Amino acid sequence: MRDERGTSIEQLADAVRRTQAATLANSFVLREILRDLAGSGRNRHAYLADMFERIGARADRLPIATDADSAIVGDMFREELAKFFAEVARRPSAWVDRER
């Protein structure tokens, strides 16, 4: 089945799968880097809270909420950011992830 632009549904599905795989890989790598950085400091939770605030503030300065779709993406971004940091805060190392 093809849409009016000639792109097949399977090509779209493949693009979604590739994006999902890349996002997962990046997420795993970033979690490990953030865990290492947070673990090397004196106050792990303060480091994570500060990093969360800096990234959130930077996102607030970007023009992601210029139209309705962008506003939805901005809200999703903030939700995913909060989930990401909450998970890193709960699990101090990858070994904990594997044990659960």
Residues 37-65: what's their mean pLDDT?
Answer: 85
- Selected residue with higher pLDDT from 34 and 100: 34
Domain count along the chain: 1
| DSSP letters spanning 52-98 | HHHHHHHHHHSS--SSHHHHHHHHHHHHHHHHHHHHHHH-SSHHHHH
Structural domain for 32, as ranges? 9-94
Residues 63-72: what's their mean pLDDT?
Answer: 66
Residues 7-22: what's their mean pLDDT?
Answer: 90
Residue 60 has pLDDT above 90, yes or no: no
- Whether 63 maps to a domain, the answer reads yes
Residues 48-64: what's their mean pLDDT?
Answer: 85
- Whether 2 maps to a domain, the answer reads no
For residue 51, the model assigns a pLDDT of: 93
